[in-house]
Each structure stands twice: as structure tokens, then as C-alpha cells.
Amino acid sequence: MGNEPREGRLKEGVEPKFRTVHPAPPPGLIPAGFNSDIAPTFSSPMAEASTPTQTLLDRMIAERQLSAADAAAFVQARSLQGTSGSGGQEPNEREVLEWLSQEYGVGFLPLESVEADREVLALFPARILLKEELLPLRREQGTIEVATCRLFSTRGLDTLRSLTGLRLKLVLVPREALLREMKKNLGVGADTIGALDEEKSVQVVDENTEDSNLDAGAEDEASIIRFVNQVLKDAIELRASDIHLEPFEHEFRIRYRIDGELQEIPLPAQLKQFQPAIVSRIKILSHLNIAEKRLPQDGRIKVRIEDTEVDIRVSVIPMLHGEAVVMRLLRQNSTLRGLSQIGLGARELQCFRRVLDLPHGIVLVTGPTGSGKTSTLYTALNEINDEVRKIITIEDPVEYQLRGVNQIQVSEKAGLTFARGLRSILRHDPDVVLIGEIRDRETAQIAVQASLTGHLVFSTLHTNDAPGAVTRLVDMGVEPYLVASSLEAVLGQRLVRVLCPECKVPDTSAHANAFRLRMGMGPDVELFKAVGCRHCRQTGFFGRHAIFEWMDTDENIRRMILENASTDQIRAAARSAGMRTLSEDGWRLVAEGITTVEEVLGVTTDKDTPRNNAATESGDPSGPASGENAAGSRT
């Protein structure tokens, strides 16, 4: 920020004077004053054929970032400097804004250095900031810098000044940076909630009384509808798997689960008073009883955004301070990748392909909730889904829809359990059966029966690793000889977060080096660590990648099952037969710079993995697999 002579006057709204280097602007085009948004003439003085420069200036004029007079002066200044014409580069928004900032003695911040201080931001009403497109950034020597991309929007600045009594000064920023920061800091729907607040027609309603929010005017209702739509839309765009709306005494919090981690969404503080109206809106969308506020309810919403259809499972549970809502997002036509594209190693892929051609047997995918088991099974089903095979699935909930596959939705309420549905399925003579999850003895036994009577059965099980599936089935009450004869293979699976490609940096710390040595990785192997940037919402990670371990039940392991061998013994046998464990698969991703040591340690429990002290200390125990969700069992 320079000490330009006109800064003070600009702050007081005094008409600035142009430097003498400018040609006199045509009469009538001189900005009459900076206290008005209207005074500068925002129409192009250049009516001739458009050059890229003129297109840019016209656009900036149309968006009221620039007055016509300034545009003319800018062109003139460039031609005097000899930067225009065929030899020179075409200007961009940044150059124009920098020029403006010099002309008017205001600061300029480039795109990458625009970052708002939350504490400073909290001093101003979000509604006015959004309306005037002003964003307070930081406090500097008692004065608060307020970002704008429109130099002439000083009316908004005056409003803020009189509302807060603070000393403010404008700083010019690129439009893109302003919009990005506004969205990030003022949050989803801040404008619609702000509008509601202003109108005051929605009363603060007591959650225990009748729905007074239903009496709200149509406009308020429209605002609530817009707000809820915005929440859903943002969640889908941010790749969220769940939306959590949580009522607390003085706060109504909304969080999205992205890549397995909950992330809080910045919201206006006034949101709390609209909590009942927002929950009611969600209940209406999901066909729930809005009058019932004392009992949990489950419902669903179907939404479509562009080509993506999303099935949303809604769970409402009354809590101490109002009803909490968890929405689980199931993307219906998220395209399934091929089996070779889900990250299986060459050996694992070959093993998987082999069992797909088996006439009968059980193939299990194991891992905790949210480890991507269902996606893997669907990818497999997709490979064998053809006209000669009949495939039936029974799931809770149905997560993907496959053409040509018969899918059954479990409904405990109606008495259609896994076990009951499964018994009926067999009468429909399928070749392949997918059971969403083996949860109990009855389901396990029918699965075994189905396998023994000539069906290929796929299912999932909650165990720590692949060898653990054997013990789990036996613990559920399946006879070891039945497990030995029906179980063909088990795939253990976890998800690790992928380092954000935009901001990851080489990890040259001592503990990274120690780890590399311990793992026998050469000096050419580079480890990376998470940093955090805008692209990844400061988490350092973007997306997830699966790690696998594949255990074939070969003759040796079948014999061990019959002999009641322990999980450890079975694991050792599987490893000596070539099984690569989950963490060994994870180290492969670490060595490729895809994820971090901590991520892999966070989701695996291998006893035989050499652990690095430093990595264990700083390890993130809240791996993606630790996420449970209330709206349904994700497998």
C-alpha cells in the first residue's frame, strides 16, 4: 500500500483528480464522486471493433469495476508506455486493477494473497458484505482493509463504516479472489439467511410448540428452500458423502464428510433461529411427518444436479437442543470403473478375475464401515453382468443401480431382513448373489447354503483383515468344515486419503528418512507430506485411494480352517503363500508419493509392520475408516 496523496481523500469520499498524464476524459464521463455507485459512466467509450483489450475493459466496465473514463485513460497510459499495440502483451484484469490502484492510491492484492481474517470478518454483518461485495480482510494499524473488486463501491464502505464505527480502507482485489473468499468465509446460504433476518417475519420458534414457521410468509419459505437447496448442492459439489446438521444450545452446526473426514461449513451465526424451519423443510422433502418431533424418523430425497442423480437417505433424531439430521448421499449414476482401475496390484487383480469365473463359492470383502467394500463388489459385478448370468442383490441400502441386475432393498420395518430375502432369492434361480453384509448367523448360514447349492456369493464382513473373516464366520456359528468348503477368497480393504497434488511437498524430516531406511526404500524414493491449500480446503488431501490384501483359501488354509487354526496362523500361511498385507500395499502408495505413512498407519493394524516411532507419534488415528454415520451402514 503506497502513500499516494489521494488515499485520504478517497477515504473521505472526496472527488479525486486525474493525473495530468491522462488526456482529459470526454465531458460527462468524469466520475462525479466516489460516494455514489451511479455517478461513473459505466458504458464503453469504445464502440469500434473489439480487441481483446477492449473486450476485457468492456467486461470490467459492465461489471462496474472500471469507469469508461478510466478505461480510456488506461488505454492512453499503455500507449504512452509503449506497452500496447501488436508488440505488447494484452492486459489482464490484474494489470488494470493494479493501474487503478496506483491512479487512485489504494492498495492492490493479487489473487494468491487474498485471505480474510475470520475474527475481523465477524465484526461485520454478512448480509451487507454479500450485497455490496465487500470483504474485510485484516486489521492493519487500527484500520481495517476491506477488499473489493469495484473501486467505486464506496457506498457500501460508508454503510459499513457507520454501522461499525471502524476505520476502513479499500483494497482492490481480483474479482475471482473476492468471490472465492466470500464463499469460503461467509458460507453457503449466508445471503438467503441474511435476507430472512432483515425481514424479521420469521419468528424464533420453540421446537416443542407447533410449527409456527409454517405460518411464515411465502418469501421466507422461499429463502429456507433456497438455503436447503444450496446446502445439498454444495455438498454434492464438494464430493461429500454425508451432511450432518447438529443442534446445540447456541449454535446450529452443519458439517460435510469429505474423503471420510468431517469438515465444518462456515455459516452465519443467525442460522440458529432458523433451525426448526430448516429441519422442517428437510422433513417435507423426505416425506416425513413434520409434526413428529419426539421420535427418530428415516426418509429419503432424490435430487438431480446436472447429470448426477443423488439419492439422499435422511435420518432425523431428536436431541437435547432440537432435531439432528444426517443425510447420506448416494450418487446413483456415478460411473463404475473397471476392476483394473480400482488400484488392485497385478497379483490381486489376477486372483480377483479368477474367482469371478467360479461357478460357486463365497467371496468376501472385509473392512470397517466406509472402507469402500460395496464399490469394489459392484465393480466386480459390473464385470460379470451379462445376458447369460442372472444376478440378484440384497442390500441395505441399495447404493448403486446396475442395469440388468435384480436388486432388493432390505426393509427391517416390513420384515424383509437379509436372511428372509436371501431365502426367497434362491427360488429365483440366480447364478450370482450379492448380500450387502453378513451380520448374523442366519444370514451367514444361508450364504453358505447358497454357495454349496451352486451359487457364486459375494458379501462383506466387518473384520480387521482378510484372515479374520474365517474366525468371524466360525464365531457366527458356521461350522468350520462349511467355511473351509465354501469360502473361496477374502479381500481386505481400506481407504487412505490421497495427498493433494496441488500442495504436497517432499517430506525431508528425520522421521521420514528413518522410516525410509527401516522400510528398505532407496534414497531415490521420495516421501511426501500434506500441506493444505485452497484446492483441498486446507486439509492437504484430495480424494481417496484403496489399499487391499487378497487371501485365497488354498488347500493349506482350508486344512487350517478345519483344524481351528487362529487368525494369526492363517495370516502367516497366507503371507507365505504370497499375500501382500494392507500396510504393505499402503507402503507401495507411500513410496509412489500418493499418500503418507500416517494415513496408512491410521487405517491398518498389522502387527508385523515395522513401525516408525516418529510416524506413530504424529500418526493420525482418526483415519477415514473410523467414520461412522448415522444414516445407514456404509460398507
Compare residues 292 and 502 and give the one whose CB is closer to Zn ion: 502
User: For Zn ion, what does the binding mask look like between residues 444 and 483, x meaning CB under 5 A?
Assistant: ----------------------------------------
Of 122-130, 147-155, 496-504, 520-528, the segment contacting Zn ion by CB under 5 A is 496-504
Please count the other Cβ atoms lying within 10 Å of the Cβ belonging to residue 627.
20
Residue where the block lists cell 467394500: 373
Compare residues 144 and 499 and give the one whose CB is closer to Zn ion: 499
> Amino acid identity of 235?
A
Q: Choose, by CB under 5 A, the member of 324, 457, 503, 547 that binds Zn ion.
A: 503
Compare residues 491 and 498 and give the one whose CB is closer to Zn ion: 498
Of 129-137, 327-335, 362-370, 502-510, the segment contacting Zn ion by CB under 5 A is 502-510
Please count the other Cβ atoms lying within 10 Å of the Cβ belonging to residue 335.
6
Q: How far is the CB of 520 from Zn ion (least distance, A)?
A: 30
Q: Which of 155, 484, 138 is nearest to 147 (CA)?
A: 138
Q: How far is the CB of 114 from Zn ion (least distance, A)?
A: 17
Which residues, at least 6 apart from 25, have a Cβ–Cβ distance to it below 8 Å? Answer: 18, 68, 69, 72, 73
Residues 520-539 that bind Zn ion (CB under 5 A): 533, 535-536
Compare residues 479 and 502 and give the one whose CB is closer to Zn ion: 502
Which residues, at least 6 apart from 432, have a Cβ–Cβ distance to it below 8 Å? Answer: 381, 384, 389, 390, 391, 392, 455, 456, 457, 458
Compare residues 225 and 533 and give the one whose CB is closer to Zn ion: 533
Q: Which residues pair with 541 in a beta bridge?
A: 499
CA distance 459 to 432: 11
Q: Choose, by CB under 5 A, the member of 215, 502, 592, 608 that binds Zn ion.
A: 502
Q: How far is the CB of 238 from Zn ion (least distance, A)?
A: 14
CA distance 298 to 325: 10
Q: Which of 168, 126, 132 is nearest to 149 (CA)?
A: 132
Residues 535-594 that bind Zn ion (CB under 5 A): 535-536
Q: Which residues pair with 262 in a beta bridge?
A: 257
Question: Is the C-alpha dihedral spanning 465, 470, 475, 477 positive or negative?
Answer: positive
Compare residues 197 and 259 and give the one whose CB is closer to Zn ion: 259
Q: Do 630 and 613 form a contact (C-beta atoms < 8 A)?
A: no
Q: Choose, by CB under 5 A, the member of 500, 582, 590, 625 that binds Zn ion.
A: 500
Q: Do 538 and 532 form a contact (C-beta atoms < 8 A)?
A: yes
Output the nine-digit C-alpha cell for 58.
Answer: 468492456
Q: How far is the CB of 308 from Zn ion (least distance, A)?
A: 24
Compare residues 288 and 503 and give the one whose CB is closer to Zn ion: 503
Q: How far is the CB of 395 from Zn ion (least distance, A)?
A: 35
Compare residues 88 and 501 and give the one whose CB is closer to Zn ion: 501
Any contact of residue 501 with Zn ion (CB under 5 A)? no
Q: How far is the CB of 343 from Zn ion (least distance, A)?
A: 21
Q: Which residues pair with 303 in a beta bridge?
A: 310
Q: Which residues pair with 364 in a beta bridge?
A: 459, 490
Compare residues 287 and 535 and give the one whose CB is closer to Zn ion: 535
Q: Residue with the closest Cβ to Zn ion? A: 500
Compare residues 215 and 502 and give the one whose CB is closer to Zn ion: 502
Provide the total of helices (H) and of strands (E) in the chain, helices listed first.
Answer: 23, 19
State the pairing for strand pair 261-264/252-258. antiparallel
By CB under 5 A, the count of residues binding Zn ion is 6
Please count the other Cβ atoms lying within 10 Å of the Cβ belonging to residue 345.
16
Q: Is 105 left (phi over 0), alpha (psi -120 to 50) or beta?
A: left
Positions touching Zn ion (CB under 5 A) are 500, 502-503, 533, 535-536
